[in-house]
Structure 1
């Protein structure tokens, strides 16, 4: 799959390094990474997608190699960045896959800009983040430079039931260390202060929801509620998998994504 990384300057005032892979034209697959990570979280997924898949994978504001301003980390502002990215790339509509909090951002995009979202794939994505997670107190104590040992400890917040390559874990450590404390705090605050997207408006895009049955953060009843709020959404439950579905099961995620995108293209 042919790839390039382009630094895209947005009307929102930030520049987002963005991986562009596969052929140009058609409806691309936009990949939105979780809080504390980067576009490289999809490095194990990309080789599993058909070479014909056009991919857009940005580093989001405050993360990866993206600009890290003092502010602008509300869910609405982060969503505006994504809409501005598609605008800058001349993309009229995209299939959108969001992992974990990236799935919260994907839902907000589908509510605020339904014309941009051809379909939606939510991978371990929350229904609501209004209840601040227990780790919020740790995040509030962060200062610069962010301690690598703290980042390593943070990766144990969610239990892994499948083996994950050491190089991939090390990449996630580098992602965390690259973020300033203000970005860690600002993004978490923005997520927790936002009105849940499905309480703001109706999501009409065809939607696939992938969830691990041992997810300690997102209970099953919330995933069932999320599916019920999106007309026609299909919930797929991964047994023996926790919250980090993309980390644990990239092969299965790729297969489910390909099957879903194929099914809606034929509808």
Structure 2
């Protein structure tokens, strides 16, 4: 199992400080793991421990989430995408393959479309083409818009339960819930508002890098048709379907995700991992 180290990145004036996890050999193929709504770097911990040392993976916790700084505003997908570029600058990543999990794929593909000079490839793990037509997202908004601090643990547990087709380990599930509860009510509210009010289909524009789309056929949120929208928008993309897997493949099947990532990256090393 690969060792995972945790550090902190200061993104600069006016930007938050973000904790991040790191694994792999310096000089290896740089990989940037982008978590989704209310998660933290911990969401990728099972996957990171299975990655080969030739992949140099970074997993930052995004603003407002986990132990990252929690500004009063700045929770649109564009804000998170700008933070990702600032993070890459801060840790010296010239180019990387971006791996977005769930809604984290929205900001990952924003960077891929707007800063192709910084992105060598894109992997989308259970990422929506849009949320505007998703009943589950609208139902969640009805709960989130009324939230007040402190957030009830039962609300966090309800959010996590049902995302996977198979039961998770009790310890890992508790960690996910605990990390979710570190986000204050305004982060729950404004982050989801940003996802619902942004035209997410427009964030698929301009992506020309090779892209891998992973979808579990027991995903309770996303449909095959939703994933087809992504494939139609990204010319160099292909879909891998995980049978019997729910929304968060990197929780349920981290070993398979690690293998598919490794195969996808085998012939597309992004170049220099760091400056100097």
Q: Please, what TM-score do these two structures have when normalized by structure 1? A: 0.94
Alignment match, 1:152: 157
Alignment map for 1:69-84 (pairs within 5 Å): 69-84=71-86
Would you say the 8 A contact 2:8–2:18 is kept in 1?
yes
Secondary structure of 2:149's partner?
Answer: coil
Aligned partner (choices 176, 181, 184) of residue 180 of structure 1? 184
Q: Does residue 9 in structure 1 map to residue 18 in structure 2?
A: no
Unaligned runs of 5+ residues in structure 2 are 271-276
Tell me the equivalent position of 1:68.
Answer: 70
Q: 1:107, 1:197 within 8 Å by CA — same for their partners in 2?
A: no
Do 2:4 and 2:49's aligned partners in 1 also have CA atoms closer than 8 Å? no
SS at match of 2:55: coil
2:265 corresponds, among 258, 261, 266, to 261
Q: Deviations over 1:199-223 (max 9, x none)?
A: 5621011100000112221111110
User: What is the Cα deviation at residue 80 of structure 1?
Assistant: 0.3
Indicate whether 1:211 and 2:215 are aligned: yes
RMSD: 1.7
Q: Which moved more, 1:37-46 or 1:242-251?
A: 242-251
Distance 1:10 1:218 in 2: 33
Deviation by residue 1:60-100 (Cα, 9 ceiling, x = unmatched): 01101100111000111110000000011121100111110
- Unpaired runs of at least 5, structure 1: none
TM-superposed CA distance for 1:237, in Å, is 0.6
In the alignment, what sits opposite 1:108?
110
Indicate the residue corresponding to 1:228 in structure 2.
232
Alignment of 1:186-197 (within 5 A): 186-196=190-200
2:123 and 2:202 map into 1 onto residues whose CA distance is: 15
Aligned partner of 1:29 in structure 2 is 31
CA displacement 1:34-53 (0-9 Å, x = unmatched): 11111001111112110222
RCO higher in 1 or 2 (8 Å CA, sep ≥ 6)? 2
Q: Counterparts of 1:249 and 1:59 in 2: how far apart (Å)?
A: 22
2:250 is aligned with 1:249:
no
